[in-house]
A and B are shown apart, each in its own frame.
Chain A
Amino acid sequence: KQEVTQIPAALSVPEGENLVLNCSFTDSAIYNLQWFRQDPGKGLTSLLLIQSSQREQTSGRLNASLDKSSGRSTLYIAASQPGDSATYLCAVKGGVNSGGSNYKLTFGKGTLLTVNP
């Protein structure tokens, strides 16, 4: 069964620093990979979606990469701001061992990011 691991579980950085969040998954036959942020007491907001055929996606100060063969993705945040403080979740969709469904999204446990002013 597909398993998603995120490292580190928590990260605290000073404002302005560039940072990288890591995600790994066990079944590389994925359909896509998505990064989300979750603010306390709120739902998830989609940040970036990388198709299985793509290597990276960029949105503003965010850049996500995907190395399907090694089962890894990174989320790079440039010039971090206090407003970036949230939990960041990685999720992969599909996979041969995910029950055959391309609709099933498997989540990691997230990285809690704190950006200190």
Chain B
Amino acid sequence: DTAVSQTPKYLVTQMGNDKSIKCEQNLGHDTMYWYKQDSKKFLKIMFSYNNKELIINETVPNRFSPKSPDKAHLNLHINSLELGDSAVYFCASSQGENSPLHFGNGTRLTVT
């Protein structure tokens, strides 16, 4: 009964490919997020959706496109992958703006 689940856990792909990471939460939360953790372990927000609407869109290349089919899901699609996209991507959710974030276990993306 994992609260926030991401798939896949590991993703190894070549430059130029297109890939997707899926995220689902069963907590009934209204808000979902994508964070990127780089090789120096620094976590930075990429996107946030509240009730399927985009509310945060940081300076992220437009090769990254989030999609929220319903408030329990927030998927991340990445086009034309580059070496610099290699990182761990974390999905998270929260109930409103004043509640703790619940994180998934991350997807380690390696672009070769």
Interface residues of A (CB under 8 A from B): 31-32, 34, 36, 41-46, 49, 51, 87, 89, 91, 93-94, 99, 101-107, 109-110
Contact = CB atoms under 8 A, between A and B. Distances in A.
6 contacts: A31-B98, A34-B101, A44-B92, A94-B97, A107-B42, A109-B42
A43 B98 contact: no
Interface of B: 4, 31, 33, 40-45, 48, 50, 55-56, 90, 92, 97-106
Nearest to A107: B43
Contacts of B105: 41-43
B56 A89 contact: no
Contacts of A109: 40-42
Contacts of B92: 43-44
Given A31-B98, A34-B101, A104-B45, A42 B106 contact: yes
Given A49-B99, A51-B98, 6 more contacts: A32-B98, A44-B92, A44-B103, A46-B102, A104-B45, A110-B41
